[in-house]
Chains A and B, each alone.
Chain A
Amino acid sequence: MNPRLAQPRSAPKAASVQPPVATTPVAMPGLPPASAGRTADSQRFPASLADAVERCWRKAAGPAAWIPTRDEFQAALERSAAKRFPGAQPYAQKDSEKIEVYLDTLHARDLALAVACSKGSAAAWDFFMVEFRPELYRAARAIVGQATGGDAAARDLADSLYADLYGLRESVAGRRKSLFEYFHGRSKLSTWLHALLSQRHVDEIRRTRATEPLENESGEVIAEAETPGAARPANATSFEAQADPERANYLAALQVAMAAVLGALDPRDRLRLAYYYADDRTLAEIGRLLGEHEATVSRKLERTRRDVGSRVEARLRDGKKWSEAQVRACLECARGEWPFDLTAHLQPADSTDAKRDLSAIGSSAAARKI
């Protein structure tokens, strides 16, 4: 396939630099003033963003058979910006500059393909199937792995995506809702498809085999249950715990101190700890997940662990006014088998902050409803 670049259907001259603040919406040169693709949550870009839109449009140049109209493409850009900066005012200079930088980072070509596919363009779908289906199957095979059904399961996983990508299921308004509408060009289309496949596989595994852990990269099953205390029921109050109330107090104090210290950690340090201690991943795996070298992971894990230990001790010593002997006895308790799991009663110190922050980075609830 050697398609030629599609020329912009209305080749507008690049708009000159506009005054910093525009007060009224200005239609893009050569474009109709309104578009059916726009939603209430996206605002039309001001003329000051015309150059950025033009650059995106040029980057999006693709085969003329399926390239969306420029108006449709600009509407997608506006939705994307509105999603990234909810409540932003494109006509304010500060927000306009942010949006311009943001637009330059978008994968415009993939976004154009997603727009065309969501509109139901047969040519776009043909292109998508030719370009991405092999990659989709390959990724599904890698995700499903060897222990859970092989090629057939991988093909099922990949095929299950097509219906939602096309949008066979209609929304309440009776309109076909394509999964492509949730793609805003922030990543490559292929990586987004990997994320969708991974999400479906994880949800399927967790739904059908909630007690069976995922396998790791080499096909081995990760033994989550081997982690001490992980599989214990939260409210299992054993005879041993009742018989040693002093130890229970120590452990509870330790857990509170640990939760507070973890809550104050840098998110990346905390994530690294979670990969290592909670998921039992190797240093190499963590390195790939975080984009760090294995030696860096090891060094930072060691430093964070020492830091956490010293902070917990300091918290016990200073907060609870414990003596060194009490701190030592408390830590000795942590080394042995725990009679029960107190952690389920604890909430992360920053759980409310985390929930608030998640609203800023978007939730997948809408995508999963389709």
Chain B
Amino acid sequence: MALGDKVRDKAAADLLRRTLVSSGTSSGAESHPEPEILAAYSERALDADETANCELHFSQCARCRDQLALMVRAAAPTGALTQDARARRFHRMWPWTWFVLTPVTTALLIAAVFIARRPASKPAAEQPLMAMQTPSQPPMPSTAPETAPEDRVQKAQETLPATPASPPSASPSRAFDGTTQRKSSDFASMPQSIKQEPDNALPQEDKKLRLPQTMATGPAVPKAKSSGQSGDAVGIRAQTETVTVESAAPPVTTAPAPQTLTNPKTADTLSPASGAAPAAAAPKREQPAFVAGVAHNALATNEMVVVEAPFDRGARTLVRSPDPQVLWRISSGRYVERSVNGGATWRVQWTNADASVVAGSAPSADACWLVGRGGIVLRTTDANKWQTIAPPADADFASVAAIDASSATVTTTDGRQFKTRDGGKHWTVAP
């Protein structure tokens, strides 16, 4: 008589459990692999034979299995509950959450319906944002009385809460979209504790891109330096520079923005409109270097753009790969970040570089070259492990242009160029 599948499976499971528990907790394995072997195993750095030997031992040794489990826990980001743990916690709390969530959800629904039925009144601050995104459109008519720009600024400062004093080095005009900004302390602990930023990791201010001067389109940029060859870390310099733009647009009388936003951190007061109204008042004036609509166009190229830095975190250089979803972001010398979803989430990768990384080039979705000060040349070919390349010269590098994972040209801050075709093993001076 044939046994049923369920009987077989249950019997096999019981047998396995009893046998493995017994053999796994026995003291048969007196000599355990060294910690370095365990570490290399957890990094998948052992060869096939060593891995098989280790796994054979682990299958019989509960101590080593416990150790490996703790190592996985130690390598996990701080405070990050695993999905499994979250699921368990959720199931444990389910009876309580049911009674709590139901009335809360109902209340939220009622509130949402109430808000939806209110007469639509667009928040005043949204209008300038729309204008920024569509600078070519004519200004929307406004019912607000026309006032001079200076009056608007003063009125806005009166209506908004008091802000701390502006630092002396702050740019006289800096865009601020009024969205919630992250605290500087969130970034201070970043290298030690965070492996992955939250899902909404790209802050609103990051989405406004500061154009490198060579990408500026439209009006001439008389004082802009050429990027990449400028003799310094372009990304870092661009953070604090403002570019003098000669506006070619004729003076346009537009309805004044009803409210001017003030950066609560720096107290820099701006006109959040598209720039047309202030430009009309002063045809030649210092203007924020980024214009959101143009910046997105600039991203379509495979060039480096600089994202506005969030407070004390330093400049962040964005490197775009041919795959529009894959982006690299250089935050400091020690680590870079990679996004595979167009910047929605970022994953931190350690580079082991001591000096500042200032520029990069990604010839493919998986390959990326980075250069920086102090002779730093880094490369990854698998979007995971970073390899320190022996530099062609002990110099500060300003830019890199990669053709593929093996071929790249690096440029020093004094203008010398070196080329490699074999992944950095050999360099030649570029003519």
User: Is chain B found bound to chain A in the same assembly?
Assistant: yes
Chain A residues with a Cβ under 8 A of chain B: 1-5, 7, 55, 58-59, 61-63, 105, 109, 134-135, 138-143, 145, 182-184, 186-188, 191-192, 194-199, 201-203, 205-206, 214, 216-220, 224, 227-230, 254-255, 258-259, 262, 266-268, 270-271, 273-275, 277-279, 281-282, 284-285, 288-289, 291, 305-306, 308-310, 312-313, 324-325, 327-328, 331-332, 334-335, 338, 341, 343-344, 346-348, 350-351, 353-355, 357-367
- In B1-33, the 8 Å CB interface with A consists of 1-3, 7-26, 28-29, 31-33
- Chain A hits for B15, CB < 8 A: 254-255, 258, 308-309, 312, 334
- Chain B hits for A327, CB < 8 A: 3
Query: Are A305 and B12 in contact (CB-based, < 8 A)?
Result: yes
Query: Are A278 and B21 in contact (CB-based, < 8 A)?
Result: yes
Query: Are B32 and A331 in contact (CB-based, < 8 A)?
Result: no
Query: Are A289 and B18 in contact (CB-based, < 8 A)?
Result: no
CB-contact partner of B20 in A58, A140, A186, A273, under 8 A: A273
B116 at the interface (CB under 8 A from A): no
Binds A, one of B47-55, B236-244, B337-345: B47-55
Give the CA-CA distance A199 to B193 in the complex, in Å. 22
Count, chain B residues at interface, CB 8 A: 87
B70 at the interface (CB under 8 A from A): yes
Give the CA-CA distance A289 to B75 in the complex, in Å. 11
Query: Are B81 and A218 in contact (CB-based, < 8 A)?
Result: yes
23 contacts between A and B (CB under 8 A): A58-B390, A139-B75, A143-B70, A145-B73, A182-B34, A183-B36, A186-B36, A187-B42, A194-B71, A198-B38, A219-B85, A274-B20, A284-B84, A288-B82, A309-B12, A331-B3, A332-B7, A335-B7, A354-B60, A355-B31, A358-B32, A361-B54, A362-B34
Query: Are B58 and A274 in contact (CB-based, < 8 A)?
Result: yes
Query: Are A191 and B84 in contact (CB-based, < 8 A)?
Result: no
Query: Are B388 and A59 in contact (CB-based, < 8 A)?
Result: yes
- Whether A346 touches B43, Cβ cut-off 8 Å, given contacts A58-B390, A271-B59, is no
Query: Are A230 and B25 in contact (CB-based, < 8 A)?
Result: yes
User: How many whole Å from B374's CB to the nearest CB in chain A?
Assistant: 5
- Chain B hits for A309, CB < 8 A: 8-9, 11-12, 15
Query: Are B352 and A262 in contact (CB-based, < 8 A)?
Result: no
8 nearest interchain CB pairs? A218-B85, A343-B22, A309-B12, A187-B39, A195-B35, A267-B55, A198-B70, A363-B31
Give the CA-CA distance A360 to B31 in the complex, in Å. 11
Q: Chain B CB within 10 Å — which of A308, A347, A362 has the most? A: A362
B40 at the interface (CB under 8 A from A): yes
Contact mask for chain B residues 62-78; partner A; CB cutoff 8 A; 1 contact, 0 none? 11011111111111101
CB-contact partner of B43 in A1, A187, A229, A347, under 8 A: A187
B112 at the interface (CB under 8 A from A): no
Give the CA-CA distance A279 to B21 in the complex, in Å. 8
Query: Are B35 and A217 in contact (CB-based, < 8 A)?
Result: no
Give the CA-CA distance A21 to B59 in the complex, in Å. 41
Contact mask for chain B residues 95-120; partner A; CB cutoff 8 A; 1 contact, 0 none? 00000000000000000000000000
Query: Are A365 and B31 in contact (CB-based, < 8 A)?
Result: yes
- Chain A hits for B89, CB < 8 A: 218
Name 12 extra pairs, CB < 8 A, besides A313-B8, A344-B22.
A3-B354, A139-B75, A191-B43, A195-B35, A197-B70, A199-B67, A203-B63, A271-B59, A305-B16, A331-B8, A341-B22, A346-B19
- Chain A hits for B352, CB < 8 A: 109
- Chain A hits for B326, CB < 8 A: none
User: How many whole Å from A70's CB to the nearest CB in chain B?
Assistant: 15
- Chain A hits for B67, CB < 8 A: 195, 198-199, 202
**Chain B residue with Cβ nearest A331:** B11
**Chain B residue with Cβ nearest A144:** B70
Query: Are B31 and A259 in contact (CB-based, < 8 A)?
Result: no
B182 at the interface (CB under 8 A from A): no
- Whether A199 touches B35, Cβ cut-off 8 Å, given contacts A270-B55, A278-B62, A331-B3, is yes
B207 at the interface (CB under 8 A from A): no
B88 at the interface (CB under 8 A from A): yes
Query: Are A196 and B35 in contact (CB-based, < 8 A)?
Result: yes
Give the CA-CA distance A194 to B52 in the complex, in Å. 22
Give the CA-CA distance A360 to B54 in the complex, in Å. 10
- Chain B hits for A335, CB < 8 A: 7, 10-11, 14
Give the CA-CA distance A268 to B7 in the complex, in Å. 26
- Chain A hits for B53, CB < 8 A: 267, 357-358, 360-361
Query: Are A346 and B59 in contact (CB-based, < 8 A)?
Result: no
- Chain A hits for B52, CB < 8 A: 266-268
User: How many whole Å from A335's CB to the nearest CB in chain B?
Assistant: 5
- Whether A305 touches B9, Cβ cut-off 8 Å, given contacts A186-B39, A220-B88, is yes
Query: Are A230 and B21 in contact (CB-based, < 8 A)?
Result: yes
Give the CA-CA distance A165 to B9 in the complex, in Å. 49
Q: Chain B CB within 10 Å — which of A291, A343, A363 has the most? A: A343
Give the CA-CA distance A278 to B60 in the complex, in Å. 10
Give the CA-CA distance A277 to B333 in the complex, in Å. 45
B192 at the interface (CB under 8 A from A): yes
**Chain A residue with Cβ nearest B334:** A131
- Chain B hits for A331, CB < 8 A: 3, 7-8, 11
**Chain A residue with Cβ nearest B388:** A59
Give the CA-CA distance A184 to B169 in the complex, in Å. 48
Query: Are B55 and A255 in contact (CB-based, < 8 A)?
Result: no
B394 at the interface (CB under 8 A from A): yes
- Chain A hits for B55, CB < 8 A: 267-268, 270-271
User: How many whole Å from A36's CB to the nearest CB in chain B?
Assistant: 23
User: How many whole Å from B248's CB to the nearest CB in chain A?
Assistant: 42
- Chain B hits for A63, CB < 8 A: 354
B208 at the interface (CB under 8 A from A): no
User: How many whole Å from A84's CB to the nearest CB in chain B?
Assistant: 9
Query: Are B354 and A62 in contact (CB-based, < 8 A)?
Result: yes
User: How many whole Å from B56's CB to the nearest CB in chain A?
Assistant: 4
- Chain A hits for B63, CB < 8 A: 202-203, 206
Give the CA-CA distance A250 to B47 in the complex, in Å. 41
CB-contact partner of A192 in B36, B59, B356, under 8 A: B36
- Chain A hits for B50, CB < 8 A: 360-361
Query: Are B14 and A202 in contact (CB-based, < 8 A)?
Result: no
Contact mask for chain B residues 363-395; partner A; CB cutoff 8 A; 1 contact, 0 none? 000000000011110000000000010110010
- Chain B hits for A224, CB < 8 A: 21
CB-contact partner of A275 in B9, B43, B65, B355, under 8 A: B65
- Whether A363 touches B22, Cβ cut-off 8 Å, given contacts A138-B193, A201-B70, A275-B65, is no
Query: Are A194 and B16 in contact (CB-based, < 8 A)?
Result: no
CB-contact partner of B192 in A4, A134, A258, under 8 A: A134
CB-contact partner of A227 in B17, B65, B354, under 8 A: B17
Query: Are A361 and B8 in contact (CB-based, < 8 A)?
Result: no
CB-contact partner of B84 in A186, A217, A229, A328, under 8 A: A217
User: How many whole Å from A153's CB to the nearest CB in chain B?
Assistant: 14
Query: Are B59 and A255 in contact (CB-based, < 8 A)?
Result: no
User: How many whole Å from B260's CB to the nearest CB in chain A?
Assistant: 39
Query: Are A274 and B65 in contact (CB-based, < 8 A)?
Result: yes
Give the CA-CA distance A353 to B28 in the complex, in Å. 12
- Chain B hits for A187, CB < 8 A: 36, 39-40, 42-43, 45
B57 at the interface (CB under 8 A from A): yes
